[in-house]
Amino acid sequence: MKSKINWRYFNILVVLLIIYMIYVLSPLWGNIIKKVFWAFLPVITAFIVAFIFNPMVTWLEKKIKIPRIFAILTIYVSIIAFVLFIVFVLVKPYIDDLGNLSVGVINLLEQIGNLFNVDTTTIQAQAVEVLNSIYSSIFNFFTASGDAASLVFNVVLSGAVIVIVGIIFLLNFETIIQKTKEWLLLRESNQMYQYVSTLYHDLTNYLVAEIIIAGIQFIEYAGLFFIIGLFIPEYMTYALVLGVCVAMFSLVPYFG
């Protein structure tokens, strides 16, 4: 009498075998996927940036009557100037001060140890080691020394790709939207098209609101520290840094 094969268990065994083979070969394909991801990351970032600034470009084009190419170039020049301002005005001058951060951490841990009557020596050593490593990486990056020279080159090259590809995306963004609309109407149901359309418009409105809120928070916090700086000059130095940080952090939920 022939025994019948239980195909249910057979399929489970096949799935488990596939999972096991994927796990065994993960070092091989994992590195390949990682390299492919890092290669396409500038292009993905360029599309995200184009998606973010497309409403602004469209508004400048339709409301202010600025040619689309000039609106795009104006926005990207402003972005580049803003990034350079953050790097060379807000960050680079205070790199040396980051080296003193470990002293403040040690003092804080000592106070915690005295308060709770515990020995924080080991934690202090580990914290100082981590902070010194971070400080060394930041210092090497901004001075382009050591292994950071290649990292600086890669960052600059990726930035150039993001700008160039982003401009191309923005120039053709309306075409991309129209082609996507036609594809959805052809391949998907009308309900799916309505869903994607609603999602796009809601994300656009949310983005505009987030940018306005970020601008308000920058003025609020930077202005507050400028006022405090009139009485305590040390705070004046960090007014712009705080304003930019708060404005940027307020945009984090959008990317999420």
Q: Are 102 and 132 in contact, with CB atoms under 8 Å apart?
A: yes
| Number of other CB atoms surrounding residue 162 within 10 Å | 22
Of these ranges, 5-9, 31-35, 178-182, 241-245, the one predicted with the greatest mean pLDDT is 178-182
Letter string b/e over residues 207-240, b meaning 16 or more CB atoms within 10 A of that residue's CB: beebbeebeebbeebbeebeeeeeeeeebeebbb
Six-digit token string for 54: 């497309």
pTM metric for this prediction: 0.68
Which pLDDT score is estimated for 172? 92
Which pLDDT score is estimated for 163? 92
Percent of the chain with pLDDT over 70: 89
Range with the poorest average pLDDT among 44-58, 121-135, 175-189, 237-251: 237-251
Six-digit token string for 30: 């994992």
> Looking at this protein, which amino acid is placed at residue 251?
L
Q: pLDDT digits over 16-74, tens only? A: 888 877 777 777 777 777 888 888 889 999 998 898 888 889 888 988 889 999 999 99
Which pLDDT score is estimated for 1? 47
Indicate whether 164 pLDDT > 90: yes
Q: pLDDT digits over 226-242, tens only? A: 888 888 776 677 777 77
Range with the poorest average pLDDT among 36-50, 96-110, 217-231: 96-110
Can you give the chain as a three-state secondary structure string? CCCCCCHHHHHHHHHHHHHHHHHHCHHHHHHHHHHHHHHHHHHHHHHHHHHHHHHHHHHHHHCCCCCHHHHHHHHHHHHHHHHHHHHHHHHHHHHHHHCCHHHHHHHHHHHHHHHHCCCCHHHHHHHHHHHHHHHHHHHHHHHCCCCHHHHHHHHHHHHHHHHHHHHHHHHCHHHHHHHHHHHHHHHCCHHHHHHHHHHHHHHHHHHHHHHHHHHHHHHHHHHHHHHHHHHCHHHHCCHHHHHHHHHHHCCHHHHC
Indicate whether 129 pLDDT > 80: yes
